Amino acid sequence: MKAAATKKILGYLRPDGQLGIRNHVAIIYTTDCSRVVATKLHNLFPVGTHLFGYPLGCQLREPPLHKIVALGKHSGYAAVLIVGLGCEGTEAYMVAEEIAKSGKPVEAIKIQEEGGDLKTIERGSRILTRLLQHASLAERSEMSTADLIVCQACGGSDATSGLAANPVTGVAGDLLVEAGGTYIHGEVAELMGCADLLAARAVNDEVANDIRGAIAEAERYGFESGRFNRGYGNVLGGLTSIEEKSYGALSKSGTKPLQGVLREFEHPPGKGYYIQIFQQEAATFNGDSETVNQAAACGAHIALFTTGCGATTGGLIPVIKVIANPNRMQLIEDNADFDATPIIRGEKTIRMMGEELYKETLAVAAGKVTKSEIYRHYEA
C-alpha cells in the first residue's frame, strides 16, 4: 500500500531541528512540594499548557531526572516553565539548564526565592503569558510520513485485543515503516517467550542479543518483584497469565526488521521498527499513561493505544484509542477513536482495518484531535 492521501502535515520546527505535530508550553514541577503551585498555574492557563513533573524529586535520582528533561525537550513543546520549591535535589535551575540545550525558551522559578505561593503564581503567570505568546509564533514546516514517530501501548486487554486490535496496530506500524517512518514497540515485560521470534527479525547479532537480554531482564524483574505488569483489567478481560498475553502483544509489533533497542529515553537513531525498554526505575507517572509518556520521552509523536476493557486515559502526546470488543465499544464509544469491531464480526479483514488505522494516524498528525485531547486526558 502506498502512503495514504491525507491533509498536508504542517509541523512545528524547533530550534534543535525536531519537528512537532502539537504546540504546547510545558509546566514542570520538580518536587511534590511545588506541584500545587504548578497545578494552579496550569489551571489559570489551561489552554496550550501541559502539566507534569517528578513528585519524588526531593531526592535526586538520575532516571526520573533524565525522563522529565527528555519530555521537556519533546518536539510538542515550544517553551517550558520549571516550578521548584528551592531545597529539593531535583533542582529547578539544573532541570531548566538541561532542557534549554534544545534551544527552546525555558524559565525556572522557586517558591522559596519568590516568597511563597502567591508571589510565585503571580510571577509564573507573567512568564506563562510570554511563553504562550512565543508558542503562538512557532515556525511551521511541512512534514512527511518519514518524519513521524509512532508508538504503541495497551491497557485493560482482553481476548479481542490479541485477536484484532493489536494486529491492526501492527499493520498500521508496518505501513508507516514502509512509508519511511518510525514505529516504536514498548512494554517488553509483555513479550515474555517472544525473544527468539524478535531476535530472528533483528538486523544484526548485536540487536538480537539486545532484545534477548531485555526480555530476560524483564523476566528477572518480574520474579524479583513479584509483579509481571499484568493489571487487574487484563484479568477481567479473561487473560490468565502474562505469557498468554505475550503473543497478542507481539502482534502489535508488525512484521518489519527490528532495527534496535532504545534505552535511557534515547531517540531512534534511524528509521524503521524499534523496541523501547520500559525503565521501571524511571517511572514518574501512574497507570496506562506511563507507557505512552515513556515513548514520548523517546520522541514519539502519537500513540496507538489498544484496549479491550475500555481504558480512558491518555498521555502527553495524542493517543488514538483502538477497541475491537463490540460490547465494550458500544459502552465506551465516546472515548474510542478507532472502531476495530468489524474484524470480530467478520465484516472486514485485519489488513483492511490496519490501512484505515494508518490513515487515521496521518490525519491526527495533520491536526485532527483525538478524544483524549478533546477531554484533556493529558495524564502524567
In tens, the pLDDT along 96-105 reads 999 999 999 9
Task: Provide the whole-model pTM.
Answer: 0.93
pLDDT tier for residue 4 given thresholds of 50, 70 and 90: very low
Return the domain boundaries, the chain.
24-137, 145-374
The angle that helices 117-136 and 35-44 make with each other, rounded to 10 degrees, is 50
Whether 301 and 76 have beta carbons less than 8 Å apart is answered as yes
Instruction: Name the burial class of residue 376, with classes exposed (0-12), middle (13-18) and buried (19+) by CB atoms within 10 angstroms of its CB.
Output: exposed
Does the structure show a pLDDT above 70 at 303? yes
Mean pLDDT of 236-243: 56
Strand partners, 182: 149, 272
Give dist(CA 85, CA 63) in Å, integer: 20
In residues, how long is the chain? 380
What's the pLDDT score for residue 278?
75
What's the pLDDT score for residue 3?
43
Whether 329 and 339 have beta carbons less than 8 Å apart is answered as yes
In tens, the pLDDT along 84-142 reads 999 999 999 999 999 999 999 999 999 999 999 999 999 999 999 999 999 999 999 99
Strand partners, 154: 306
Give dist(CA 186, CA 262) in Å, integer: 9
Residue listed under C-alpha cell 478524544: 371
C-alpha cell at 55: 513528585
Give dist(CA 277, CA 265) in Å, integer: 9
What's the pLDDT score for residue 135?
98
Does the structure show a pLDDT above 50 at 75? yes
**Residue-wise burial string across 52-89, b where 16 or more C-beta atoms lie within 10 A, e elsewhere:** bbbbebeeebeebbbbbbbbbbbbbbbbbbbbbbbebe
The domain 24-137 is placed in CATH, from the list 3.40.30.10, 3.40.50.1950, 3.40.47.10, 3.40.50.10660, at 3.40.50.10660
What's the pLDDT score for residue 244?
58
What's the pLDDT score for residue 376?
96
Does the structure show a pLDDT above 90 at 288? no
- In which region does residue 64 sit, left (phi positive, over 0), alpha (psi from -120 to 50) or beta (all else)? alpha
Does the structure show a pLDDT above 50 at 1? no
Whether 316 and 71 have beta carbons less than 8 Å apart is answered as yes
Give dist(CA 325, CA 160) in Å, integer: 6
Mean pLDDT of 247-275: 94
Q: Which residues contact residue 112 at a Cβ distance below 8 angstroms, ignoring those fewer than 6 apart?
A: 85, 86, 87
